[in-house]
Structure 1
Amino acid sequence: MGLQRFAIFTNPKIEDVLESEVQRVLHAHAHKTEVRPDIEGLVIVEVEDVPAVCDMLCAIRSAHYVMRLTAILDLPQTTDAVQALVRHIMEDPVNRLPDISKAEFFRVRCTRLGLHSFRSHDVEREVGEAAHEYHKIPAKMRGATTILRVDVIGDKVVLGVQIHGEELSKRLHPEFIRDASIRPNVAFAMLHLAGYGEGEVLMDPFVGSGTIALEAAVRFPNNKIIGIDRSDRVVKGARANAETLGLTNVELTTANARNLKSVVARSSVDCIVTNPPWGIRIGKNEEMEDLYRGFLASATEVLKIGGRIACLLVRWEAFLHHCRSSGRWVVKMARPIRTGELNPVLFIVERVEDTMWNNIKRDIFVLVGDARKGDGVTTLESFKKQQVAVADGAASGEKEEAGNGHEVEGEEAVEGEGAMRPRRRFSQ
């Protein structure tokens, strides 16, 4: 049985998610998978030529599109790069020009990433004319039965024939779309990297058109999915999208991301995966800081200990600051993901015990205990001595790891409890 090579594209920086899913879906049929570090967003797979292989490839949810791979060429580094590329292809059309001889109509599509002196449309026009002359098949912009792909990624050119109609990442067919909506394949990657799984409660506090919530609902039809947005119009649109897909496990409601406990009970959510406003077109720095601060404080109340937040951010500094300063979150991942012309960062943070608040409560307890023995000056001096003792202990190496980003730095007696209590400090 022969082997075929397919090129599968996704958003740059989530190639590992795509490769993992390819191996899982194709299983024994995949002989080899390869992530090309010199071609962003690409995974190449060699697979057995079996009747169901195209159906299996089209079921991959982290993919943007799939093509039957013809060739990978170097982009000519000349002033007439597109014309030089076409000449190079036509020098050996059997091995370099994708075979569309059985097509009734065709069209050329080009995805271009990087800095070039030409546009995607220039590639589509020039290659389309050459393919028409060679195969004698008419080109058709709409309703073409075959899509010839010529993708220019940096200084590489990937040629092949797309094995499906419209892009796989448009599979949700929404009735309502917002301009800031992300693709379903990116939503899949966010859910995967957040470790979201069977039986977990998911919330999207900035649901928008519902891409993340709908992707989760399709993958886990028995899970509880909650989507909220402060706009009635947006919630109605997301609800229309869910109804179009026939999904019944998505609860959509109007609410504010700063007050999540008005929607769900305390410590009842396992995972929050969301795409908050990026603040590109609107929103001052102060407004974004207030939004992230309020959202994180609210999420602290509804997430279980060990629960995760996964969110895409452009102006992420304020979010990271509030995560670290609160003592309630540990940053598990910060990964840029290419979406269009932007590179938002996917942050995944985990809810941990309120270590900083526990420290404050413990220190207050110690101060109150000392106050029973002496005046306020003695209490303050005692407190300072405790801090110096802890610092000296840390300097002499008397500390050990305590897990979850905490450190045990010596021990102190707590009056009235007859036991040693570790002094903890949150560290990031």
Structure 2
Amino acid sequence: MRKFLATTDYAVESFAMAEIQTAIEKNAFQIQKLGRFQNWQQRLYFETDAPLTLLLALRSIHSLIELKGIFKLETPTLEAFVAALESVEVPEMQQVSSFRATCERYGNHDFTSVEMQRWAGGVWIRKYQKSVDLEGYDINLRADLIGKDVFVGIQHNRTDLALRPHLQRAFHHRAALKHSLAYLLLSLAEPQKGQTILDATCGGGTILMEGYDAFNQKLGYDITFLGCELIADFAQKARENMQANNFPIEIIEGDAKELNQYFAPNQIDSIVSNLPYGVVSGKESQMRGLYDRFLTSAHDILKDKGKIVVLTMRAAIMRETLFRLRLYKISQELITESGGLLLHIFVLEKI
């Protein structure tokens, strides 16, 4: 079995582990020792005989690194780091013409990630007599230092897997959600075949694209996905993103505070949305009004026991509004991170 390290989003490691285990076992491969890497957040360790094609299709991870060496440095100096690299054998380097060295550092050290990268590149040039190519490389050698822990391996993804390189975008929304988090929100809604799912604040359509690709294209769920967006230009750009991928998803120009004006009673099974954070212009009173009217109008269009899954930075306002309205029960509340912001995920059920 090969050893792997996968990176994922903050505080959702258990969800990513569940996806990894299910995907590998469902395809009749074996998996062992699945857990946090050295008990660090956002990093998972597992051993498996599953092929790379299966692992790179996982939707909850950002990077996949095949480990070649793991060390603990009693004194984390550049010299100790280099000595660890010297002892690692990477047979795959014999089969390539060029490589890239990638290093990241976390913790309090007397050197930078750039210095680590330069020293690591020098080690591998001397050891394997291969040239460095930062863009057209054949293999990406990764060596990270996390506190006193070092791992060395081959990073198999060229771009962040959460960006979904296979999906086309005519437009990138400035506040677009990571696809890995979009997949988490959708999964928390527990979608079923033939349902109707609405994103009430769809922006550029990331949640809708992820939903159609993950559940309709890959699993054949035949879910009807719908989008609603207040800003006309964004609504049009979201339509262009759907068209670029041939996803038959209707996007309407509408206000999330007035969903019952656009959708029929009991039409929607689930609403999955990344709500406005109000970081720049959203006053507290405005956010209270938005959440109040959004939740009230959503209640009208949701089916019995319908679900809402939302991401928000305004957890206190959301919780206060929910307790005052008494229209939903909170099934789950999770915390994650995106763009340096701590965000709350609420999973609600209509009552």
Given the two structures, how large is their TM-score scaled by the length of structure 1? 0.74
Q: Which runs of 4+ in 1 moved over 6 A?
A: none
Equivalent-residue separation in structure 1 for 2:200 and 2:345 (angstroms): 16
Aligned to 2:68, the other structure's residue is in SS state: strand
Equivalent-residue separation in structure 1 for 2:3 and 2:316 (angstroms): 42
The answer to whether the 8 A contact 2:82-2:123 is kept is no
Structure 2 partner of 1:194? 189
Q: Kindly tell me: are residues 90 and 67 of structure 1, through their superposed partners in 2, closer, same or farther at Cα, counting changes over 3 Å?
A: closer
Equivalent-residue separation in structure 2 for 1:154 and 1:344 (angstroms): 26
Structure 1 partner of 2:219? none
The answer to whether the 8 A contact 1:308-1:348 is kept is yes
Structure 2 partner of 1:133? 126
Q: Deviation string for 1:247-269 (max 9, x for gaps)?
A: 12x11121111011222111211
Instruction: Choose 107-116 or 228-237, whichever is displaced more.
Output: 107-116
Q: Kindly tell me: are residues 44 and 259 of structure 1, through their superposed partners in 2, closer, same or farther at Cα, counting changes over 3 Å?
A: same
Q: Deviation string for 1:169-206 (max 9, x for gaps)?
A: 12134221122112111111111122223222111111
Structure 2 partner of 1:366? none
Q: Deviation string for 1:92-111 (max 9, x for gaps)?
A: 132xx685332322223345
The answer to whether the 8 A contact 1:39-1:154 is kept is no
Deviation at 1:161, TM superposition (A): 0.7
After TM superposition, the structure 1 = structure 2 runs for residues 41-56 of structure 1, keeping only pairs within 5 Å, are 41-48=42-49, 53-56=51-54
Equivalent-residue separation in structure 2 for 1:85 and 1:208 (angstroms): 48
Instruction: Choose 143-152 or 179-188, whichever is displaced more.
Output: 143-152
Equivalent-residue separation in structure 2 for 1:44 and 1:140 (angstroms): 28
Structure 1 partner of 2:215? 220
The answer to whether residue 146 in structure 2 is matched with residue 148 in structure 1 is no
Structure of larger gyration radius: 1
Equivalent-residue separation in structure 2 for 1:313 and 1:251 (angstroms): 24
Deviation at 1:118, TM superposition (A): 5.3
Equivalent-residue separation in structure 1 for 2:191 and 2:30 (angstroms): 26
The answer to whether the 8 A contact 1:8-1:43 is kept is yes
Structure 2 partner of 1:40? 41
Deviation at 1:31, TM superposition (A): 2.9
Of 2, 6, 21, the residue aligned with 1:4 is 2
Equivalent-residue separation in structure 2 for 1:105 and 1:327 (angstroms): 61
Aligned to 1:93, the other structure's residue is in SS state: coil
Equivalent-residue separation in structure 1 for 2:289 and 2:109 (angstroms): 40
Of 150, 168, 174, the residue aligned with 1:179 is 174
Q: Kindly tell me: are residues 181 and 72 of structure 1, through their superposed partners in 2, closer, same or farther at Cα, counting changes over 3 Å?
A: farther
Equivalent-residue separation in structure 1 for 2:348 and 2:7 (angstroms): 27
Of 99, 120, 143, the residue aligned with 1:106 is 99
Aligned to 1:100, the other structure's residue is in SS state: helix
The answer to whether the 8 A contact 2:108-2:147 is kept is yes
Q: Deviation string for 1:251-294 (max 9, x for gaps)?
A: 11211110112221112111111111222233222222222122
Q: Kindly tell me: are residues 151 and 347 of structure 1, through their superposed partners in 2, closer, same or farther at Cα, counting changes over 3 Å?
A: farther
Structure 1 partner of 2:236? 236
Query: What letter matches 2:306 in structure 1?
Result: G
Structure 1 partner of 2:206? 211
Structure 2 partner of 1:300? 299
Equivalent-residue separation in structure 2 for 1:285 and 1:161 (angstroms): 47
Structure 1 partner of 2:13? 15
Aligned to 2:126, the other structure's residue is in SS state: helix
Aligned to 2:2, the other structure's residue is in SS state: strand
The answer to whether residue 151 in structure 2 is matched with residue 158 in structure 1 is yes
Aligned to 1:175, the other structure's residue is in SS state: coil
Equivalent-residue separation in structure 1 for 2:283 and 2:73 (angstroms): 42
Q: What is the root-mean-square deviation of aligned Cα atoms in Å?
A: 2.3
Q: Kindly tell me: are residues 294 and 47 of structure 1, through their superposed partners in 2, closer, same or farther at Cα, counting changes over 3 Å?
A: same
Aligned to 1:196, the other structure's residue is in SS state: coil
Q: Kindly tell me: are residues 181 and 115 of structure 1, through their superposed partners in 2, closer, same or farther at Cα, counting changes over 3 Å?
A: farther
The answer to whether the 8 A contact 1:11-1:41 is kept is yes
By relative contact order (CA 8 Å, sep 6+), the higher-ranking structure is 2
Equivalent-residue separation in structure 2 for 1:77 and 1:262 (angstroms): 64
Deviation at 1:116, TM superposition (A): 6.0
After TM superposition, the structure 1 = structure 2 runs for residues 316-335 of structure 1, keeping only pairs within 5 Å, are 316-335=315-334
Query: What letter matches 1:225 in structure 2?
Result: F
The sequence identity of aligned pairs, in percent, is: 26
Equivalent-residue separation in structure 1 for 2:269 and 2:13 (angstroms): 26
Query: What letter matches 2:237 in structure 1?
Result: G
